[in-house]
Amino acid sequence: MALATFSKVSKVYRPTHGRPYVAVSDFDLQVEPEEFFCLLGPSGCGKTTVLNMLAGFEMPSDGAITLAGKPVRGPGSDRAVVFQGDDSLFGWLSALENVEFGMRMRHVPALERRARAHHYLALVGLDGQEHKYPQQLSGGMKQRIQIARVLANDPTMLLMDEPFAALDAQTRLSMQEQVRQIAGASHKPFFFITHDIDEAIALGTRIGVMKAGPASTLKALISVGLGEKRERADPEYLRVYREVHQMIREEVLKGANRSTRESRAGHA
């Protein structure tokens, strides 16, 4: 049985001034337990809107989202979120205290939560940095704190919203490698948003490609038939890459045409 289900989900933003904007329309998806699902699409296609609705930060305008059969009504500790930027870290808490935060809120005894926090900080390679504050650490290290923070809280599912988009290429590669190992070991489902095709193939067991916005929805679902080792020279890697690249190209062009048409209509 699917763990998370989107059925006919739409999201319409209604600003106080201006026309309503349909971000997502008729979005259907089932996320299976233990899969690493990558949601891929051109920028502005509503990927983050989909994640925010699953996280419970935003409510769908229409349709339903369920997690383990129960409707999603708001944020909860069963769905941990890793954000793109570092503004979700608590700057007044050390790395260790940031990782302990969720357990502290859920009244996990101090000794146990400290031990768990140390364990997960070591797992993401931050042992020795426990007592530093986020602003003393690099971008990659801050994202590691975020990852340790959600893992330590033992969620049912992990949501990641372009967590490595702001990192340099080398750090990004090493983080992807690490997240794949963590995901493999944790047996938890990941819902990972990216606009980077290579990242999606390097991590995902399944990739969902979104159409260009507005009123975006899923264009296609592609299974990635790659095992633990993911080499770019692998024929399967190349096959998936070509297929996804073609789709993204179509959508980017479609989006570009649409916006030129709209700007022309606006000028007329």
Partner 1 sequence: MRNSRGAAESVPARTATHKPALFGRLLDYWPYVVGFLGMFAAWHVIATWFFVSVLFPPPLPVLRKAAELIANGELPINVWVSLKRILAGFALGSLIGVVIGLLVGSFRTFQRLLDPVVETLRFIPAVAMITVAVIWFGIGEVAKIFIIVYGTVFIVIISTAAGVASIPPNKARAALSLGATPVQLFLFVTLPATVPFILTGMRLAMANAFTTIVAAELVAANQGIGTLLWQSRLYMQVDTVFVVLLTLAVLGFVVDRCFRWAIFTFAHHYSPAN
Q: Which stretch binds partner 1 (CB under 8 A): 81-89, 196-204, 225-233, 250-258?
A: 81-89
Q: Rule CB under 8 A: say whether 181 interacts with partner 1.
A: no
CA dist., res. 47 & res. 256, Å (int): 18
Among 3, 39, 45, 89, binds partner 1 (CB under 8 A): 89
Q: Rule CB under 8 A: say whether 13 interacts with partner 1.
A: no
DSSP string, 165-200: TTS-HHHHHHHHHHHHHHHHHHT--EEEEES-HHHH
CA dist., res. 255 & res. 43, Å (int): 10
Q: What is each CA distance from 139 to 132, 169, 193, 196, in whole angstroms?
A: 14, 12, 18, 19
Q: How far is the CB of 163 from partner 1 (least distance, A)?
A: 12
Tokens coding 218 = 């899923």
35 and 183 Cβ atoms separated by less than 8 Å: no
Among 22, 140, 215, 250, binds partner 1 (CB under 8 A): 140
Judged by beta carbon, residue 44 or residue 85, the one nearer partner 1 is 85
Pairing mode, strands 190-194 and 206-210: unpaired
Tokens coding 16 = 């106080």
CA dist., res. 212 & res. 44, Å (int): 7
CA dist., res. 9 & res. 65, Å (int): 7
For 99, phi then psi, to 5°, come to -70, -30
Among 15, 20, 74, 227, binds partner 1 (CB under 8 A): 74
Q: Which stretch binds partner 1 (CB under 8 A): 73-81, 197-205, 240-248, 257-265?
A: 73-81
Q: Which stretch binds partner 1 (CB under 8 A): 41-49, 125-133, 193-201, 229-237?
A: 125-133
Among 80, 95, 117, 147, binds partner 1 (CB under 8 A): 80
Q: Rule CB under 8 A: say whether 106 interacts with partner 1.
A: yes
Question: Looking at this protein, which amino acid is placed at residue 45?
Answer: C
Q: Which stretch binds partner 1 (CB under 8 A): 85-93, 195-203, 211-219, 241-249?
A: 85-93
Q: Rule CB under 8 A: say whether 66 interacts with partner 1.
A: no
Q: Rule CB under 8 A: say whether 149 interacts with partner 1.
A: yes
80 and 157 Cβ atoms separated by less than 8 Å: yes
Q: How far is the CB of 211 from partner 1 (least distance, A)?
A: 26
Residues contributing to the site for partner 1 (CB under 8 A): 55-57, 74-77, 79-81, 83, 85-93, 101-102, 104-106, 125, 132-138, 140-141, 149-150, 153, 170-171, 174
